[in-house]
A and B are shown apart, each in its own frame.
Chain A
Amino acid sequence: MKIVTICGAGIGSSGILKVNAEKALAALGLQASVVAADVASVRTVSDDANVILTSQEFVEAIGDTYAEVIVIRNHFDQGEITAAVDRALGEH
């Protein structure tokens, strides 16, 4: 499984999302690779992704994708991010 985090530069906000998504995976006992990227390279990095975590501002630019696109409001809210990862990748 693969999670891609997307922001404008591929450095800051997507980096925060990557770190917190990895914590979420560990807390949930799930395995997935997590890649942070800028929105310009979303096509290349997310063609095999299951989930894209991003901010509202990038949803339109991400466009049609097989991955589930999830908007994170508060990048530092571990509860919000863990719930999103669980909803998308957890066994229910």
Chain B
Amino acid sequence: MIVKAVAARLIRKVLPTDPDPNETEVALRADKFLTDADREIQRQFHQLLTVFNSPIFAFLFDLRFSSFLDMKPADQDSYLRDWMTSIIPFRRTAFQALKRLCMIMYYTDDRTWESIRYKGPFVLAGRGGD
């Protein structure tokens, strides 16, 4: 739920043809990635999400009164930016972890490649392929 909401703000559709992170199942694939990961990494990521979405920490860090999931989209963007540029190293680290996870899941899906004009793997002409 949290990863899905974060992905929706980190990865924005600018053109109508840009694939939506929901279409590419970023959160679902992130979940699978974490399920396959080391238990220690799973535990740390769970902690990270708990702190990130906690209204208490949102208040302590940024004087905001709601969890990330309850914020309006513009506030979510502002909250993410606060984490990205925070003077507290842990928050910058956490932002990078979320960004890396979502971006890898999104841009390894070949449905996203056309939007950035990436041509993908190639074959030798006349030797098979699509």
Partners in one complex: no
Interface residues of chain B, those whose CB is within 8 Å of chain A, are none
Interface residues of chain A, those whose CB is within 8 Å of chain B, are none
